[in-house]
Amino acid sequence: MDERVLIVDDHPLTREALASLLSQHGFDVVGSASDGAEAIEQTRRLRPDLVLLDLTMPGMDGLTALPRIREADPECEVVVLTASGTEENLLAAIRAGAAGYLLKSEPPERIAEFLRGVVGGEAALSGSVARSLLDRVREGGRLGGGVPDAIASKLSAREMEVLLLLDEHLGTDEIAGRLYISEHTVRSHVKSLMRKLGVSSRREALERLAVARG
């Protein structure tokens, strides 16, 4: 089954070019949006597997929309595609739950390859972006506060937040209140992080975290 993609960019020609590219590589482009607010609504309505999201748009920008897109459909992966490779934007996108961060300077075929990888559970980072992130990890030692690199590298920013709150012995309702999301969304994040960590229970996830911390 072809992966369903929603393209979000304020330039019509860019949307058309991306739609043509992805269709040629076997993706099902189910819709497009020109700003963040429209992207949230389209995600809620169309339930795509992937959202390809620009950052710089009039109205609601991509960084503002990203966590709301994830909340609208926690099962959907969001990949940033932008001209801006700044470390500030990169880290903000990762913290907001992006599964990838690609630069528009990437060859078209590489963009399609990256997106296919995301569907398979991989992260997608342009080369220069990956180097920037690696440098940051080397300097700071951790991708997320309190989550060792071995685990943080597998999870989205929101999943790391949920894992840390589980480690505080909070229940689903308490986590939902702390993060301002629904209990259903919390359960979706827990299910996703358990799958990524290869465990079958919350207890096992916390045991993995404890072992990684040493």
144 in any annotated domain = no
143 in any annotated domain = no
Q: In which order are the strands placed within the sheet that holds 4-8?
A: 28-33, 4-8, 50-53, 77-82, 100-103, 124-125
What pLDDT, on a 0 to 100 scale, did the predictor assign at position 140? 46
Which ranges of the chain have pLDDT less than 70? 1, 127-146, 180
Instruction: Map residue 105 onto helix, strand or coil.
Output: coil
Pair (18, 113) in one structural domain: yes
Return the closest-CA partner of residue 207 out of 143, 175, 163. Answer: 163
The last residue of one of the domains, among 102, 117, 138, is 138
pLDDT tens, position by position, 136-177: 544 444 444 567 778 888 887 778 888 988 988 889 998 888
3-state helix, strand and coil shares in percent for the chain, rounded to the nearest 5? 55, 15, 30
Q: What is the CATH number of the domain that holds 190?
A: 1.10.10.10
Pair (118, 157) in one structural domain: no
Residue 154 has which token pair?
Answer: 């597998």
Return the closest-CA partner of residue 100 out of 119, 123, 72, 129. Answer: 123
Beta-carbon-side half-sphere exposure of residue 121 (alpha carbons within 13 Å): 7
Q: Which residue has the tokens 């690609």?
A: 102
What pLDDT, on a 0 to 100 scale, did the predictor assign at position 136? 56
What pLDDT, on a 0 to 100 scale, did the predictor assign at position 132? 62
Pair (166, 111) in one structural domain: no
Beta bridge partners of 78: 51
What pLDDT, on a 0 to 100 scale, did the predictor assign at position 176? 84
Residue 200 has which token pair?
Answer: 């079958």
Pair (31, 57) in one structural domain: yes
Pair (131, 94) in one structural domain: yes
Contact 163, 200 (CB under 8 A): no
Global pTM? Answer: 0.64
- The number of folded domains in the chain is 2
Pair (124, 155) in one structural domain: no
State whether the Cα torsion 78-73-20-38 is positive or negative. Answer: negative
Residue 118 has which token pair?
Answer: 């995301």
What pLDDT, on a 0 to 100 scale, did the predictor assign at position 131? 60
What pLDDT, on a 0 to 100 scale, did the predictor assign at position 159? 84
Pair (44, 128) in one structural domain: yes
168 in any annotated domain = yes
Pair (8, 70) in one structural domain: yes
Pair (66, 130) in one structural domain: yes
Q: What is the CATH number of the domain that holds 95?
A: 3.40.50.2300
Pair (24, 123) in one structural domain: yes
Residue 159 CB contacts under 8 Å (≥ 6 apart), including other chains = 97, 189, 192, 193, 196
The last residue of one of the domains, among 114, 138, 162, is 138
Pair (111, 162) in one structural domain: no
Q: How many CB atoms lie within 10 A of CB 179?
A: 17
Q: DSSP code of 147? A: B
Residue 83 has which token pair?
Answer: 């001209």
Rg from Cα positions in the chain:
17
Structural domain including 182 reads: 149-213
Pair (89, 174) in one structural domain: no
Residue 211 CB contacts under 8 Å (≥ 6 apart), including other chains = none
